[in-house]
Amino acid sequence: MKILCQIGVIFSICWISEIIESLLPFPFPASVISMVLLLILLLTNVLKLEHIREKADFLLANMAFFFLPALVGVMEYRDALQQYLVPLLVICVVSTLLTFAATALSIRAVLYLMERRKKHV
């Protein structure tokens, strides 16, 4: 019953988020709305972590598995994928590298500046 309630809580939040998504005048994915919603509920203590812990642990621990059917869906687009395979791979490799480097280096810069300011004050 405990897990059943937790599923109920999380799925309710997801459903409400889909309603909010349909009401918003701009494209904002429902999953992000549900994430923000859940965070607000937790921060305002409306929802306690105990209310959803087991279910959430299950979902988070198996995150990669939930992507499987979506990835298998690629087989439906074999021809198009073959045609664009090289640019697709190049774009993925280069942008992943650049994004990692940009994030890591900008954070390092921020941490360095914060450190220096602390010393000056």
Estimate the share of the chain in helix, then strand, then coil, as percent rounded to the nearest 5.
Answer: 90, 0, 10
* 48 makes contact with another protein (CB under 8 A): no
Measure the CA–CA gap between 112 and 92, rounded to whole angstroms: 30
Number of residues interacting with another protein: please give it, by CB under 8 A.
Answer: 70
Measure the CA–CA gap between 20 and 56, rounded to whole angstroms: 22
Instruction: By CB under 8 A, name the one of 4, 64, 119, 121 that touches another protein.
Output: 64
* 24 makes contact with another protein (CB under 8 A): no
Where b means 16+ CB within 10 Å and e means fewer, 2-13 reads eeeebeebbeeb
* 3 makes contact with another protein (CB under 8 A): no
* 108 makes contact with another protein (CB under 8 A): yes
Measure the CA–CA gap between 7 and 13, rounded to whole angstroms: 10
* 46 makes contact with another protein (CB under 8 A): no
Interface with another protein (CB under 8 A): 10-11, 13-14, 17, 26-32, 34-39, 42-43, 49, 52, 55-56, 59-60, 62-77, 80-81, 84, 87-108, 110-111, 114
